[in-house]
Amino acid sequence: MGDGDIYDCIDFYKQPGFNHPFWKNTTFEMKQKLFVEGVRTNDIGFKGVGCPHGTVPIRRINEDDLIRAKILSNIHPSNLDDEPGHHYAILRTKAYPERKLDGIESYISLLNTTGIIESQYRAFQLTISNGLDSITAGFTVNPLLFKDNKTRLYTHVTIDGSTQCFNQDCPGYVQISSEIPLGWTFLSTDGKNYSEKLRISKEISDKPNSTEFLWTLYMTEQNSIIGFWPPTLFGKLSEFGNQANWGGEVYSPLDQPSPPMGTGILPQTESWNTVYSAHSWWIACAYENTNFNFVSPIDTELYTSDPQTYNIVDAGYHDENWRRLIVYDGPGGIKGA
Tell which wins on pLDDT, 257 or 95. Answer: 257
Helices (H), 10-86: 21-24, 28-41, 63-75
236, 171 in Cβ contact below 8 A?
no
3-state secondary structure of 50: coil
Whole-number pLDDT of residue 10: 93
Task: Name the average pLDDT for the chain.
Answer: 86
Report which of residues 86 and 187 the model is more confident about: 86
What mean pLDDT do residues 115-133 have? 93
What is the arithmetic mean of pLDDT over 20-37? 74
CA distance 237 to 100: 10
pTM for the predicted model, two decimal places? 0.91
Closest CA to 226 of 235, 234, 218: 218
**How far is CA 320 from each of CA 157, 269, 281, 317, 323, rounded to the nearest angstrom?**
32, 21, 11, 8, 5
Residue 2: pLDDT above 60? no
State the pLDDT confidence band at 47, using cuts at 50, 70 and 90.
very low
Contacts of 82 (CB under 8 A, 6+ apart): none
Q: Are 297 and 315 in contact (CB under 8 A)?
A: no
Statement: residue 144 has pLDDT above 80: yes
**Is pLDDT larger for residue 120 or for residue 98?**
120
pLDDT of 189 above 60: no
Q: Give the helix, strand, coil percentages of the chain, each rounded to 5.
A: 15, 40, 45
* Residue 95: band (very low, low, confident or very high) from pLDDT cuts 50, 70, 90: confident
Strands 152-159 and 194-204, bridge-based pairing: unpaired
Residue 48: which pLDDT band, with cuts at 50, 70 and 90?
Answer: very low
pLDDT for 188: 58
Contact, 130 vs 288, CB < 8 A? no
**Stretch 268-293: mean pLDDT, rounded?**
91
Q: What is the C-alpha to C-alpha distance for residues 117 and 256, in angstroms, rounded to an integer?
A: 10
The pLDDT of 116-121, averaged and rounded, is 90
